[in-house]
Amino acid sequence: MSKPAKNLLRLLCTSGLILLMAAALNFAVDPLQLFRPARIFPAMYSPDTRMQNAGLIRSQDFDTVFMGTSLAIHFRQSDMDRILGVRSLKLAMPGSSSKEQSFVLAAAVERRPKRVVWQMDEWIFREATDIDKNIHLPADLYRRNTKGVASYLFDGAMARESLWLLARSIPPLQPLVARLTNGVLFKFPIARVDDINALRPDYDVSEAYNSKKALAAFTRMTAARSAYLAEGYNYDAMIWRFEQDAIGLIGKNPDVKFDIYFPPYSILQFVAMRDTSPATLKIVYDFSTHAASRLLQYPNVSLHDFRAAKEITHDLNNYADMVHHSPAIDLKVLSMLAEGKYVVDRAAPTAPLEHLKTQIEAYRIEQPR
């Protein structure tokens, strides 16, 4: 054999050995806990929910799944457990479409939870990329098929995470590794499931959530960016997605209780539509009418409509913009779910919407003094 051929063979063998070592390391440490819950090595978690959820579904014990968008991302599982009396798993994903949510929920429902709490609004039912073309959602990790397992085991970046977790388990190295845990150098900087995307205790809530922020967002949306309010609002497309992603999942799982809630957007969201995009507001009304009627056809569904909860939605100090509410409202939402407040009557599925319409028509903007 010639020298170049020998060198090539050595290179191939070395490369293969490195890949096998990486796969063995990733399997042993299992940073995502895709194969087993963490026992030997410390569990750490990523704020990248689209990736982390694949591991949480496999590693956590739960009887209730919590799904939503950025409006639900800061909820704490400990609060859900305490207020709702459940053992929860938060799978909320910021900016997620119904297609993503339904796919992730379908994987979670395979674990046979008793209950799904689903924060749902018309915006999630926009057109979205096919699951297998979505570069942000590792679909094959959820499926745990050959492609997904191989991509996980032979991932060099994941091997680096495994080495870090391995180092973290060695007592003399723990202080140094802890200082490097900043979410920039490593993908898994969070030590507790309860802290995934939850706000820190020292977070300045009053600075982030106040009426000036909410009104400033209203001004922006009704001026230079008024077209933003109508983006993605195509009634026929939204209804099709709703039937595929929400009704399809609910219909296939009659033994699972679905607690669906429409979140308490500030009144400004709808007033902005009223003043600058009435056609969009009509789509919201028409979609809400269809969704409420269809959801309440299923005996395993309870629907809560918090959009007309005036004590929340008219207090602009609860908001960082026109839709994102403060941690205090997170807790209020959980309490209202537990108490059965704002439950939609099956005999009058559009009654809450009529209350909301009345509020929207009557509301007038008052600038802060």
Q: Name the domain boundary from 198, 223, 244.
A: 198
Do 182 and 215 reside in the same domain of the chain?
Answer: no
Q: Verify that 126 and 90 share a domain, yes or no.
A: yes
pLDDT in tens, 174-216: 666 666 655 556 788 898 999 999 999 899 999 999 999 999 9
Convert 135-177 into a string of H (helix), E (strand) and C (coil): CCCCHHHHHCCHHHHHHHHCCHHHHHHHHHHHHHCCHHHHHHH
Tokens matching residue 28 = 């042993």
Q: Interhelix angle for 267-276 vs 211-221, to 10°?
A: 20
Cβ atoms of 317 and 328 within 8 Å: the answer is no
pLDDT above 90 for 165: no
Residues 192 and 242 in one domain: no
Per DSSP, what are the bridge partners of residue 319?
325
Based on the structure, what is the number of domains in the chain? 2
What is the pLDDT confidence band of residue 344, given thresholds at 50, 70 and 90?
Answer: very high
Residues 240 and 283 grouped into a single domain: yes
Whether the Cβ atoms of residue 273 and residue 320 lie closer than 8 Å to each other? no
Most confident of 4-8, 37-41, 163-167, 322-326: 322-326
Kindly tell me the sign of the dihedral angle through the C-alpha atoms of 65, 75, 247, 97.
negative
Rounded Cα gap, residues 8 and 328, in angstroms: 63
pTM of the model as a whole? 0.92
Last residue of a domain, one of 173, 198, 223: 198
234 and 113 housed in the same domain: no
Q: Which of 356, 295, 308, 357 is nearest to 336 (CA)?
A: 308
Domain shared by 248 and 271, yes or no: yes
Both 182 and 229 in a single domain? no
Of 141, 176, 198, the last residue of a domain is 198
Count Cα neighbours of 190 within 13 Å in the Cβ-side half-sphere: 16
Both 145 and 8 in one domain: the answer is yes
Q: Is the pLDDT of residue 168 over 60?
A: yes
Q: Are 91 and 49 in contact (CB under 8 A)?
A: yes
Q: Does 210 share its domain with 354?
A: yes
**189 contacts: CB under 8 Å, gap ≥ 6:** 44, 46, 47, 181, 182, 183
* Rounded-to-integer distance, Cα 165 and Cα 175, Å: 13
Q: Are residues 46 and 170 in the same domain?
A: yes
363 & 218 share domain: yes
Residues 73 and 162 in one domain: yes
Half-sphere exposure of residue 319, counting CA atoms within 13 Å on the CB side?
25
For residue range 97-112, list pLDDT tens digits in order: 999 999 999 999 999 9
Q: 151 is in which domain, residue-wise?
A: 1-198
